[in-house]
Each structure stands twice: as structure tokens, then as C-alpha cells.
Chain A
């Protein structure tokens, strides 16, 4: 083969690779992140790509990624879980109630003295979340209510319970603020805190569960073809129970995250979060029709969403009004869905 032919073959191969990369949602999201990083670094006059700002972006990411992961499992089965935001509120409130009303503690307990109580808050929140997930599964499996309506009902019920339990007020309890502060290693400030690190580990584990285990395989199978799943000997009801309990448990942990972030359990801690979780899932490339989705895409999609949120606030060269920010986020979601649709039509 002559050199020119090799060059041509190499160029074709490179072109094919680039095309393949852009047909991949995750690669596209990485490129988007890089572009956003450069644009915001310039427009913020050099303060966007700093550990402080990235720390805030990752802190927001930590608040929402657990819900996005929860939503991913559910959406892949062809369902939806609208109750995750209300579960965040309820679980943080119950955790706050246990510490403040149950144990008689208040916000004066801080630092390492508060750590055991924070861990108790995490445990309580997880239990609350698992319970909500079990209720959702019961409504879907036993009462045969479609997931949208079932989780809409629990969303209302859990939001109401959070108000009843808290009396509508934030329950300010013991907190170790250090857990949410980014690490400083040998004088070098990192953008990652203990809480964010914990969330990254949970996300990686969930990714492995989704893509490398039988449980994940059954989740995809259920969303692709529930009849074939049943024919293969997999019980859809059992799988739905596991998936919705996982979703509830993750939402419960997001409630614990909110408690640690704010030092309080409040009925508004999860306000509107379910919609951002769904948006992150869509941007991350999960098909709302079920059966399709990758955890890497979800992690990146959520990161894109909160990079935009923080980045627009950091812009200095022009004033980006909060209303314009909402429009830009909405356009981002539309663009993500449009890319998915184009990819599908391209594959056909």
C-alpha cells in the first residue's frame, strides 16, 4: 500500500472514529463540557475553572446525581418516579425530627461530635427512602396503577407528610460542616468533599450494578420487552419492586445529603428536584421509552446541567438574568432530546 493510500485510509478511519464519537451521547457530553468550561472560563474572566467554583458545581451535582441515577433505573424499565423530590424532603425531615425532637439535639452540636448523629441521619433517611420505594412498588404491582400516577400520588403524600412531621419549619440539628467542605491535601485545595466523594462511589457502584450484573440486565430487559422478560422466567413484579426500592433508597440518601448540606431537615429541601432529575436523565441519553441508557451518560448529563447553572451565574462580561438562565437550561434539554432523535434516525 502506498503512503498516499495509507494516509487516505488513516483519514477515513479518523473520520469514522470522529463520527462514531459524535454519535455517542457520552462523547458528545464530554465535548459539551469542555466547550462550556472554555466559554465560562473566558466569560467569567478566569474564575470558573477554579477549585471553588468546581467545588460548588460538584456539590450541586452531588445533590442531584443520586436522584438522576434513581430515575435512570426506573426509566430504563419504562417507568418514571415522580416521588424522588418529595422523598428527599421527607427523609431529611424525618432525620431532622429524630435528631431534634427525638434526641433533643440542636445546631450547637457541631464538628466531629456531630458525626455519629449525621451517620444516624443517613441511616434514617435511607430507611425512609426504601419505605417510599416499597410503597411505590406496591401501588404499581398490586394495585396495578401506572407508575406516573402511582408516584404522583406518593409525591403528594410524602410532601404532605414532610410538612406534617416538621410542622412546616426547618428542623435545624447537629451537623459536621466539614463533611461538605472540599479537601485540602498538602495545601492543595481540591473540589471534592467527603459527601461528594461518597456520592461518586455510590454512582460508580450503581453503574457497575446496571451494566455488569444480572440485576442490570433484567432491568434493561424489562424496559425493552416485558413479555419476553416474563417468558425468560424473570418476574417483572419482583424486578419492579427492586428497582423502585433502589430509587427510593437513593432518594433517601439524597435527603441525607441535603441535611448535611443545609444542617437542617426541611419540607422544601427536595422542592422541584424530580424535574431536574428527569432533565438530567434526558440530557444523559436515557430514552424515556425505556430500555436504553448508560450511567456514564447520566453522570455527565447531570454535570452539564449544573455546569450551565453555575457557569451562567459566574459570567462577568454580560449580565445573564435569572430568567434567561431558565430559558438556556430549557434549550439545553431540547437540544439533548433533538440529538437523541437525530442519532436514532441516523442509525435507521
Chain B
């Protein structure tokens, strides 16, 4: 793929990329801590992943292989659009195969396949502040983070249990990173939270509109908040994928008619397609034998 020479490699100028890399280094050094950075205006709208795009632009090299997913899928319009953007301004190779990618930019999901030390997972983050629904003032949340004063969040979870019998947060489920900072995992389903814990891949988080970067270095402890008598319990639809039969992947519910018909399919399209291909190969082998 030939890149558009009218723009610097990966769109941003080198000084801007250096500024973002400095913020990333600080973020890696203080796991889970939100580092303010001079987010730039990007040619895609805020909310479409400008933070993730800037982080990707800052870490992308000419030899990288990029995968972009939205809701777990490579073919959602926003993922297509971001992949095209980097195709044009960086000319890097892109892929839909999780295993082949060196950088994966994601919105709302963590791939089902386990990631490796050779990979970087870049999250698009709408609201980096995990406490924002409880305390909207940044000056105040900054103080709370400084003092590790997270009682407010525990009280909120306790009130959930008192009212509903269980914690009613199903995505953007808050986590403690390395036992120190409360962090928003971005709006991934709580189902994905356990994958963040001690993940071999570097996890980077970019929030463009809110101008914050944070990170979870490889093999760092990430614990979803819970109570001894109410342990963390991720949810998934109690069904299997209609296409590949998976009973362990996160499922999207697809409404098929207006009479209550519905089916479940894997949200991670690469995972699902790989399983289907493997099954076909197995079947072919079986028939040949």
C-alpha cells in the first residue's frame, strides 16, 4: 500500500509523536495513572477514537501490522474507516487476524485469542476518569487518586448490592491496577476484564477529547473491584455461537425477525471465522480418512 506523501508518516508531525511517546512512557511507569497530554484535533471526530488513533500513530512503525476492531469486529464501519486512515497516511500492512497483528486498536472489546509480548493493544477511551459518574469535578478526582481515596466507588458497588442483590455495572467495570490506581478499562464488557490481568501484551489507553493517556504494562495485576462475599462475576449471554458453536466467547444478540426471533453470534469476528475454518478443515480430514 502506497502512503499519501502529503502527510507525515502516520499523520502527526514528529514533535507531536514525541510528545505522545513521552506521555506514554510516563503512563507505563505509573500503571493506571491518567497522564494529561496535548491531544491534537484529528480528522476524525471526537468519540470516533481520536485518542486511540493518536496513540497508534505515536507507536506505529513502518514494519508494523495493524488490526482495528470495533465491537470485536474488523468490518464495522468505524474500524474500516480507521484502518483505511492508517493505510493512507502510514501505508502499513493491515490484517484482520489477531495473531498476525503487532498493534491492535480496539473499541469496546479485547480479542478472544490470547495476546503475546510482541503485541500492543491500544484502547479507544471515551471517559478515562473511572469516578466521573460519582464526582464530575476533575480537580476533586485528581485529589482522590492522589490519596487513593476510592471509598466512593466501593460505596456505589455496595449500594448496587443492597438494591439489586449484585453489582449492576456490566461494562466499564472499574479495576485496580497494580494495587494502586483505580482505572476505567474503557467500555469493554466486564466479561473482558479478566483478560487484562497479567496480560503479556502492553495495553495503552488513549482518550482524545478528555486529553488523557494511561497504560497497563505487561504482566501487571489488574483486579476488578469486588467484595469477599460478592466476588466479581462477568456476564455473557447463556448461549452458544450460532456460527462456530463457541460456548466461551462473548456473544452479540442478533434479532432476526419481529416475532421475538433472535440468535447469538461471536462478537469477535476473527475468532469466530478462525473456528469455522478449523472446523471445516477437521471435517474435510474426517471425510478423507
Genuine A/B complex: no
**Chain A residues with a Cβ under 8 A of chain B:** none
**Chain B residues with a Cβ under 8 A of chain A:** none
